[in-house]
Structure 1
Amino acid sequence: MRILIGSPVHQKPEILSLFLQALERLETPDVLPDYLFVDDNDNPISSQWLVEFSNRLPGRVLPLLTGSQQVENRSDEHTHYWPPALVWKVAGFKNRLIEYALQHNYDALFLVDSDLVLHSRTLCRLVETEKDIVSEIFWTRWQPEGPLLPQVWVSDEYNLFHREDGEVLSKEERAQRELHFIHQLHIPGLYEVGGLGACTLIRRRALEAGIHFGKIKNVSYWGEDRHFCIRAAAYGFPLFVDTHYPAMHLYREADRMKAEQLLFTLKYFTSNHSEQVTHAEHSDTSPSSPAFNHSASSRTPKFPEPPVIPDHLHETAVFAKYTADSFVVPPTFTGPRQSELYTPPVSNPKLTLTMTVYNEADHKLTDVLLSHRKYIDEAVIIDDGSHDDSGELCREILQGIPLRLIRNETPSFTNEVELRKQQWRETLASSPEWILSMDADEMFESRFAQGVHSLLAGTTADTICFRLFDMWSSTHYRDDEYWQAHRYYRPFLIRYKEGFPYKWREQSLHCGRLPENVLDLPTEISNYRIQHWGWYTPAIRMAKFERYQLLDPSARYGWKEQYESILDSNPQLTLWVDQDNKNTEKEPTPEYEPAHQVDASDVAKVASVQVMNKPEPQIKSETKDTFYATEKGKGAEQSVKCKLCGSSDTVVFHDYQRFTLMGCGSCGLVFRKDVDHIQSEEMIAEIYNANWVAMRDSAAASTYGDHALFGLMLLDMFSPRKGKLLEIGSGTGEFIHAALQAGWNAVGIEPSSDSRAYAKSKYEVDLLPGYWNGETELDAQTQQSVEVEIHQAHEAQEGIEAESLEEELDLSLEHPYEAIACWHVLEHIADPVAFLTDLCEQLQPDGTLYITVPNKNSFTNEAYGVHSPLFTEEDHLYHYSDHTLTLLLEKSGLRPVALFTRQLPAGLDALLQAHPLYGELAFTEQMGLLAKLQGEKRGHELCCVARVI
């Protein structure tokens, strides 16, 4: 099959580079495709890169078609501008590509926009559909804070809902259908649509029929794709979208950065690990050094290796990692987005990173800069006389981001205040809005990247303070009487106020990274945390110790005992357990982090956590952080391997009276130490008794409304059709009752005889007894009881009752199922991988698994620490977060299609009273906090919808 890949190109060089790299990776179904570009670039470097691409694929890139040079401004960081003249100019380009394909007898034309990064299987998949016109899906966030929306639609200009002829829809019905259409497109499949574009395979039969992108004179719809689609429908060609291999749309700068990371990660997987992996120099403006010219780089930057992913999932998993947001129920979509193409939203505040570096190339500088580049708008860096290539590394890692790099030939760290003043002057020369002052060995936890711009846009403060954790190893921070930085908030982020009389602490050491009077401005504290890597190896600690002995031998500027403690052979360390946010990039964009207003004039104390401006506080407080801390010496106990990732980096999370919880420093899982020796059946029988049922009955209305109907809503949103439903662990039967009423063919399994009896009495629901074990497994007591009843029924000649009891004992379940639900079951399962793997086999090919578990990263656990009821329940064998649950699903052959948390308002007052950082909040503040908890996945309950990979 001869295929022509065609694209009109008017593109920024850095975007075009990524597009071409992805094109070069495309797998082909049969004959290698040819390429034909319309060169409409006004940047000569972009034109040169098309020539270089042609040289790399001799004989496959046809001579360039040329367009008139485009002069109008097409886009900015927020939106793309398409005046009518430009729309129809592009339509003319696409028609020229159609004419070429027809004249030269191609079997199909693949039209693809030059701001897309394609999965290598895209073209093969579109050919496999055997459709005359089919697009591969991609998603775009047209507004920075808006929902992700597809490039395909159902009808008219951009309707995302189905409507029959003459059907009148209410606003609520329309919203429900919009959500159904959007969620359906997240399920890998092939769907008929009413409109599409930008990434479309058109077979010759459709081309010969006469379809094209020209304007239909009596149609006023905006966009050449809409006229193409109307014409295709008139000629009798249905339109389809495939959703197996979503492309990445490089709509704004953040997307470009993700695409660079995506392609770099894919290059890692496809290259020999012994080879050095070069990185495209997108900032090079020389026409002879295009971004995809691998010989252009003279030095290999030290990018971190990407996470280990099973071979068969590499590319699809990497695309999902960098293109898909974790599920948050989107706001109702209210119709055509044409206005968004013309009206730019309010921009995010500009964020300037300022930093000094000195011989940092072999330390954490690469990791630090990679973390910062996700959210900064520019950087000002002083290279203070480095003897290594720290400065060059800054250029390489931050390429594409405006950078002021100043080189001091002679180090000035012996007079720190003068160095800081120089740093301040150079930063002000860039006309900053917000200034983030970080050292070269400091980095925020990863959730900061998603939340910082919301934080800046939503605050009225001018100074924001954070806690800093002194990492003493790759997994632990130091926590003793000499090292308590993490208990105090310090200013790192300020809004520059022109005319404010900034003043510095005039001392040669420990003068502070920012002027000392920034706390005189309106000040807030934020719970985003900073990891300080300036102590994490013995060699670094020794060098720091010697430096302080040289610069401050009498401890004039610091704390003598703290200096001496640097070389302690057995320091008290605490596990940095919460690695979830650090190891995953599927975070949803959190809402504004409600920080706490601080009266900084007297350095106010807030719930035993102080705002401090001194870099080395002399604090000897006995206050203990109970949440993630282990008791002294516990970390030295015999550890066990993590049940999820296999790491031996586990320590005691907490010793309870009847059991011990372990924490994994690698993946963040918390689990019972004796999980391999637990008989779940005995534990469940002991706990879920008549008293538990009575408790459920006392809250029957809320149980039904908050949980059963919520589960039913998820089924309606994510299951493509109603059919056979299995619930494992049905409890007192509310969900099965709701599902039966809603039209599902539902069956539930419940081991507790008390719970089954309640379900029968309250809801007339018959639940099957036993435990799930491939099919089901009766507990011994239930089996004996049923057998006795059968025998008695036979003796009494009650044949019908005996037959019924025999059927109950047989437990013949129908499968496969359209849906399986496990509401708060997985935390009780001793071997969750085996459990989930077996459930995969019980699902229809497009079936859906629904899971809820307590959330390890919940606000509940924050408030109560190790004494949280989620931790103290002895039948909770595992404590999952969104990250560890995702890892578990992947190991079990599943992928999450929705992952979010819930925090119900009930009980919020008690949580606020227990939490160390919250006092009394007004009603609106409480509701804002609830929204924040949902956005940051800190709700009490973790909810997941999954399908078989």
Structure 2
Amino acid sequence: MRILIGSPVHQKPEILILFLQALERLKAPDVPPDYLFVDDNDNPASSQWLIDFADRLPGQVLPMLTGLPQMENRSNEHTHYWPPALVWKVAGFKNRLIDYALQHDYDALFLVDSDLVLHSQTLCRLVETEKDIVSEIFWTRWHPEGVPLPQVWVSDEYNLFHREEGEVLSAEERAHRELHFLHQLHVPGLYEVGGLGACTLIRRRALEAGVHFGKIKNVSYWGEDRHFCIRAAAYGFPLFVDTHYPAMHLYQETDRVKAEQLLSALSYFTSKAAHADFPDSPDHSPSFNQSTSSETPEFTEASVIPDDLRESAVFAKYTADSFGVPQAFSGPRQSELHTPPVSRPKLTLSMTVYNEAEQKLSDVLRSHREYIDEAVIIDDGSQDGSGELCRELLKGIPLRLIRNETASLTNEAGLRKQQWRETLFSSPEWILNMDADEMFESRFAQGVHSLLEGTKADAICFRLYDMWSATHYRDDEYWQAHRYYRPFLIRYKEGFAYKWKEQSLHCGRFPDNVLDLPSEISNYRIQHWGWYTPAIRAAKLERYQLLDPNARYGWKEQYESILDPNPRLTLWVDQDSKNIEDGPASEHEDIHHAITEEVVKVASVQVESDPEPDILEETKDTFYEKEKGQGKEAVQGVKCKLCGSSETGVFHRYKHFILLGCGSCGLVFRHDVDRIQSEEMIAEIYNAKWVDMRDSAEASTYGDYALFGVMLLDMFSPGKGRLLEIGSGTGEFIHATLQSGWDAVGIEPSLDSRAYAKHKYDVDLLAGYWSDKIKKITLTQEALETQKISEIREMNEAPTTEEEMDLSLDNPFEAVACWHVLEQIADPIAFLADLREHLQPDGTLYITVPNKNSFTNEAYGAYSPIFTEKDHLYHYSEHTLALLLEKAGFRPVSLFTRQLPADLDALLQAHPLYGELDFTEQMGLLAKLQGEKRGHELCCVARAI
């Protein structure tokens, strides 16, 4: 494939040398590319760099085109200037490059701006996409204090959100969709967009059709790229962006320094690799490749890893600002803009059916057809037309339907082996083995292909819920399937010695040894409808009594419990529903909530050695253990502090406290929360040692939390105004908000923290705790004893010797922030209701709390640092936080989780189902965690109802 790399060049020498160094490293998918530059430089040194580059690559660099000589001041230290005349001058240069590519029969033109540093795999990747027009992503911080933004967009001049025709969006929904789009671009993949530029591969088919950068007379959009994109869309060419190898944009001076360090690091690894191959060679590299930086980073010996992964890791290190957008959002995991990879894994449904036409077969097949690529079904002697129904409902999907004239009632192992053999005839990649009465919850359809693309496991395990009615599943000592993880989805491994359990009943749907392969658990749930009516249950019991009268293959007590007139049932909660109301159970359905002390297991195999439960349920949790006599009186009769339910049990007994769990709403809370003196507890924890820890992590504290909070304010409270922060810690957020124009005040009970805030940021924080008394702050005893009345007068502007002081709350606040405070509040409903009274009618409440359903808690179970912190009085999930807000008179406008990359390595080592992941895999995992709301931190933006 003949490729022409074209670039108009008007560039500073120190930037141009970095651009050319990266170009020289660029790998080609086939024959080496040719280069054609438009020399529009007004600096002779820059023109000389182009000549030197041509000398280094003889035969590849074509004679340069030139622009009209002129002196132009195109930038200052903060931004670049692009007047209309300059825009259309550059458009003319790009059109000259298009003309050259067409006249000289190139297969593609790669247009790249001269202030980019490219990954060496960029060109290969863009060619690999097989798209007519595709750009590689890069991010730009247009202003020093701004958020990095991409060079691609969704619609119009620069909309970063999708909107259907005629759809009217609120500011909140627009912000939500923008976050979704930006988050998506951080996940390696190929996505369809509405606009792009600056780093674009254009294939000959599009060039011949007439795409170019000329001005469209009746369009007033700024920038030649926008006119190019409109013209491309009019000619029928969709636009795509690839995000596997983000480029670095050298827009600010700090970007140039990082680029020098990046290229220096890559040169280091290249030289190490060369020395490994030629140990006697002298230690030198070509002068053109030497960095102009005076500071060379220090590195350890080069690891033996693939070059492209090493290079990606180096790019990630020096383009870390590109990940400044919060990697979390509230909404579906995949955007309607997402274009699935061409070669996504094939998913084959494997199933047996026997007289299922009048049961749930129709619903089951309709749900599966949304995401499967093909199906293999054994009709095992059905007499009700089940096979014909399969053919009808899967019309349009490749189906291999095998008919057994005689049912295999007494030979399940033989039937399962036949099903396996017939499935393998279809050359499967992934096999989803489901019975005719089993179906996933609806959200699985949107997430299954991302699940398959993002996993290294060969077996994925799920929980199965035995539905005992249309609304409830059975949950007692005999029916506990949903407490375990079993394999339903496996990747076929040719050469693996699959072995079957040789028994005529309950032999398993897959070979018995599939869990010898790498396994993973998933939170997608399966509903089993094989028991949901009295008639079905009676027929099942009759079958078991006939085929297994002595319970040789099953559990005698479970068989006998099938017709229990008063089973223990639990309401099925659809996790896609936003408003869930418990409806009355049908006759004989007294609802009880399960209590268990079992460790999470995959089938019968324990997945971690720690004898503590993993916390993996999203809404209604069933992981609590019964009291065993020790300390029983301390927890008996304790009602849930959120929903008032008496169905509470011990979650875990720690050395100094006990955590209880509510089987109704899922809240986890300390058993002694009514007796806790928060002031004493907080004073004990947030001392000088805690401040030292914050000081040692000052940069990440400021960047990860303070600036993140300010960004949320910019999105949801752009008008600024008065702001109150409760629990200000060492003052970073208050300092950041003051700098960005807010009239901000913070409350902090810790004397050490307040002193640090004053010393470090010159921020005065009010001393005390927020109480449930309107307009009052309760001063700490520490503050009363150590601060003079004159100091208190200066800080509060209201001299008094009382233990309570006014905060001047006559004027309500536009915003109130509680970052990691709510979990420490003993009466959160009263606390939030009081805050509501001090917000403007359209004011906004900002909250972060540790996420009970986090990957951290998955990794460490009951000994997670989130659970063992004794000042964490409550542990909230998305469900319980939303319920709390509703009770306090708020409605969430954005509710999402956040997982920072910093501690991911430690979590992966602690998690029983993960090992080493490379950078790309870690980014994919981060996206998965946020998409499934399993990030460490639960973030909420709320307004009064």
Q: Which interval holds the TM-score relative to the shorter structure?
A: 0.5 to 0.7
Amino acid at match of 1:457: E
| CA deviation map 1:415-462 (0-9, x unaligned) | 32454356457656767543211123445577654543134335577x
* Mapping for residues 666-677 of structure 1, pairs under 5 Å: 666-672=664-670, 677=674
TM superposition shift of 1:948: 5.3
Question: Of 153, 173, 182, which aligns to 2:160?
Answer: 182
| CA deviation map 1:359-405 (0-9, x unaligned) | 66887767755764553344444565668897798789878867677
Contact 1:828 1:875 in 2 (8 A): yes
Partner of 2:187: none
TM superposition shift of 1:776: 3.6
| CA deviation map 1:718-763 (0-9, x unaligned) | 4324433221121332321232234332111234455445534554
For 1:191 and 1:657, the matched residues in 2 are separated by: 48
Partner of 1:738: 736
Change (3 A) 1:755 1:191: closer
Change (3 A) 1:365 1:734: farther
TM superposition shift of 1:669: 3.0
Change (3 A) 1:394 1:694: farther
Aligned length: 628
Q: Does 1:626 align with 2:613?
A: yes
TM superposition shift of 1:526: 1.3
For 2:173 and 2:519, the matched residues in 1 are separated by: 49
For 2:364 and 2:845, the matched residues in 1 are separated by: 38
Contact 1:753 1:782 in 2 (8 A): no
For 2:607 and 2:738, the matched residues in 1 are separated by: 61
Amino acid at match of 1:938: R
Q: Does 1:438 align with 2:434?
A: yes
The 3-state SS of whatever aligns with 2:345 is coil
Question: Of 853, 857, 860, which aligns to 1:861?
Answer: 857
Contact 1:470 1:535 in 2 (8 A): no
Amino acid at match of 1:716: M
Change (3 A) 1:405 1:757: same
TM superposition shift of 1:823: 0.3
Question: Of 406, 411, 417, which aligns to 1:415?
Answer: 411
| CA deviation map 1:928-947 (0-9, x unaligned) | 76665455433322223345
Amino acid at match of 1:697: V
For 1:732 and 1:647, the matched residues in 2 are separated by: 38
Q: Does 1:885 align with 2:863?
A: no
Gaps of 5+ in 1: 1-145, 147-156, 193-218, 234-250, 252-323, 332-336, 587-607
Q: Does 1:528 align with 2:522?
A: yes
| CA deviation map 1:108-129 (0-9, x unaligned) | xxxxxxxxxxxxxxxxxxxxxx
Once the two structures are overlaid, the 10-residue window that deviates more, 871-880 or 503-512, is 503-512
Change (3 A) 1:913 1:746: same
Change (3 A) 1:803 1:511: closer
TM superposition shift of 1:686: 0.8
| CA deviation map 1:310-344 (0-9, x unaligned) | xxxxxxxxxxxxxx96269999xxxxx9xx99xx8
The 3-state SS of whatever aligns with 1:706 is helix
Q: Does 1:895 align with 2:892?
A: yes
Amino acid at match of 1:745: D
For 2:605 and 2:858, the matched residues in 1 are separated by: 27
| CA deviation map 1:763-790 (0-9, x unaligned) | 4322234305475423265699499955
For 1:401 and 1:346, the matched residues in 2 are separated by: 18
TM superposition shift of 1:856: 0.3
| CA deviation map 1:848-887 (0-9, x unaligned) | 4322101101233223322333224444332122343344
Change (3 A) 1:634 1:576: farther
For 1:533 and 1:752, the matched residues in 2 are separated by: 53
* Mapping for residues 146-165 of structure 1, pairs under 5 Å: none
Q: Does 1:464 align with 2:459?
A: yes
Question: Of 871, 876, 881, which aligns to 2:867?
Answer: 871
Contact 1:489 1:525 in 2 (8 A): no
The 3-state SS of whatever aligns with 1:353 is strand
Contact 2:330 2:896 in 1 (8 A): yes
Question: Of 679, 688, 694, which aligns to 2:682?
Answer: 688
Question: Of 219, 222, 247, which aligns to 1:230?
Answer: 219
Amino acid at match of 2:703: L
Partner of 1:698: 692
Contact 1:897 1:947 in 2 (8 A): no
Change (3 A) 1:863 1:550: same
Contact 2:461 2:522 in 1 (8 A): yes
Q: Does 1:812 align with 2:816?
A: no
Change (3 A) 1:229 1:528: farther
Partner of 1:326: 330
Change (3 A) 1:410 1:664: farther
Change (3 A) 1:409 1:948: farther
Contact 2:751 2:782 in 1 (8 A): no
Partner of 1:267: none
Q: Does 1:713 align with 2:707?
A: yes
For 2:796 and 2:345, the matched residues in 1 are separated by: 74
* Mapping for residues 238-637 of structure 1, pairs under 5 Å: 326=330, 345-358=341-354, 372-382=368-378, 384=380, 411-420=407-416, 423-424=419-420, 427=423, 432-444=428-440, 448-458=444-454, 463-466=458-461, 468=463, 471=466, 474=472, 490=487, 492-495=489-492, 508-514=504-510, 523-528=517-522, 531=526, 533=528, 544-553=540-549, 558=553, 624=611, 626-627=613-614, 629-632=623-626
For 1:938 and 1:633, the matched residues in 2 are separated by: 29
Amino acid at match of 1:855: N
Change (3 A) 1:859 1:785: same
TM superposition shift of 1:574: 12
Change (3 A) 1:468 1:735: closer
For 1:468 and 1:722, the matched residues in 2 are separated by: 47
TM superposition shift of 1:903: 3.8
Amino acid at match of 2:778: D
Partner of 2:264: none
For 2:333 and 2:380, the matched residues in 1 are separated by: 48
Change (3 A) 1:580 1:653: farther
The 3-state SS of whatever aligns with 1:938 is coil
Contact 1:161 1:181 in 2 (8 A): no
For 1:567 and 1:883, the matched residues in 2 are separated by: 32
TM superposition shift of 1:576: 11
Contact 2:640 2:662 in 1 (8 A): yes
Once the two structures are overlaid, the 10-residue window that deviates more, 653-662 or 874-883, is 653-662
Amino acid at match of 1:861: N
Contact 2:817 2:845 in 1 (8 A): yes
Amino acid at match of 2:351: M
Contact 1:353 1:438 in 2 (8 A): yes
Change (3 A) 1:435 1:490: closer
* Mapping for residues 32-181 of structure 1, pairs under 5 Å: 175=150
Q: TM-score by structure 1 length?
A: 0.52
Q: TM-score by structure 2 length?
A: 0.52
Question: Of 841, 847, 851, which aligns to 2:847?
Answer: 851
* Mapping for residues 911-926 of structure 1, pairs under 5 Å: 911=907, 914-917=910-913
Contact 1:903 1:933 in 2 (8 A): no
The 3-state SS of whatever aligns with 2:849 is strand
Contact 2:694 2:730 in 1 (8 A): no
Amino acid at match of 2:682: Y
